[in-house]
Amino acid sequence: MNYFDVIVAGGGPAGTTAATLLAQYGHKVLLLDRDQHPRFHIGESMLPMSEPVFKRLGVDWETGAYQRKNGAEFIDESEGLRVRFPLASQHQPYQVERSKFDHMMIENACKQGVEVHQLEVVKDISCAQDKVSVRTDKAEYSGRYLIDATGRSAMMGRRKKSIQRIDNLGKFSLYTHFYSVDAQAADSLYETGDVKIIIVDIGWIWAIPMVGRRLSVGLVVQKDIDASERKSSLFDQYLADSQLLTDVLQGAKREFDIRAEADFSFVNTSRHGLRYACCGDSGGFLDPVFSSGVFLAVKTAEMVADRLHIALLAGKEDDPELHSIDDADYTLGFNSMRMFVERFYHARLVQNLFSVSKKSEELKEDILGLLGGNLWTGKNEFQKKLLKSRQAQQLGIIDIAES
């Protein structure tokens, strides 16, 4: 019988997290994914505060398959500025190869009772007062609730025309992976596992070490550049201009040709409604400079799953305002990271604020809290200032840090 308590669309970190937690609660869960794992996905860096969610999921990090991440270093080579933030204290974050990591997550969901259908494309959805109906290219299903974890495809948001772009952050990225990163200059990368953020005049470059002396490198462009210039030569130019990357990548080889991602950041103004909720990137996506993507995916999925479990037990999953009680926490987390990224781009955050943090332990701890994903303490003064900033007020972002 094609009837389920919950139907989850999307098999990335958000979808597998929500599906696994609900299956652990004892609900009958179907997860539909249009692709087949393992599959390539960019976005390799985890935040420390995601670890408690992975523990709930039963994810085993001790296989040696992933690179331990001990910190993040922000570098402005033109000004000779380097600021490092240690991140591995209370929780241990990792740098992951997403194809391997996402595959592990979906296999874990299967082991814990989720019915997983891969290579099955959702064609139509109806969220009615009494049930959810889903038609795919292979079958029809019905259930009590739908979770949209379709990533930047944002299935429900685009159906409801509730996607609003954020235009003043990164516009697009160019990236690849390197292997045989064996130069002596790269040794410290793999000893520390630090992510490197290199500031350039048109945006920033990431360098993320992975196991097996491999390196993810990407250029994120914030300035408006003609589409004809969005090609590998731009990527090559900025890598060549970086002495650090020139030294690190000496003798290294590319795994694949330069790829591009565009239309980075957006908010979804209809994240939940009658018998549905969005989590992960489908609820809103931010420029990846602070590696918040997977973290917000698993945290928002956890939030949705826990709230939905209570409603399913009480038979109240038909309440269109079911998830409104969590809006304040979602908004605090998302907007805190959004304003942090805004400040990075528009207030010379690395050159000014980060260098000042060397002289103020309190400020440094506040920044560490944001970089680690510790967004809900209510005690982070820097976070409160971000939410009260002029940019936040101009964007209509409500300061809820003190509410």
Residue 275 has pLDDT above 70, yes or no: yes
Is 33 found in the same domain as 8? yes
* Tens of pLDDT, residues 360-379: 888 889 999 999 999 999 99
Q: Are 215 and 177 in contact (CB under 8 A)?
A: yes
pLDDT at residue 63 in the model: 77
40, 86: one domain: no
Nearest one of 301, 303, 316 to 145, comparing CA atoms? 316
Of 63-77, 198-212, 382-396, minimum mean pLDDT range: 382-396
Mean pLDDT in residue range 291-314:
97
Same structural domain, 154 and 175: no
pLDDT grade for 243, boundaries at 50, 70 and 90: very high
Q: Which region among 81-90, 314-323, 344-353 has the lowest average model confidence (pLDDT)?
A: 344-353
pLDDT for residue 395: 60
For residue 351, the enclosing domain spans: 346-394
Confidence of residue 391 (pLDDT cuts 50, 70, 90): low
Is 58 a member of any domain?
Answer: no
Region 66-80: mean pLDDT is 94
Residues 111, 23 within the same domain? yes
79-93 pLDDT, tens digit per residue, is: 888 989 999 888 999
The reply to whether 241 and 363 lie within a common domain is no
Residue 390: per-residue pLDDT:
58
Same domain flag for 129 and 152: yes
Token code pair at residue 399: 């300061």
Specify whether 176 is located in the same domain as 292: no
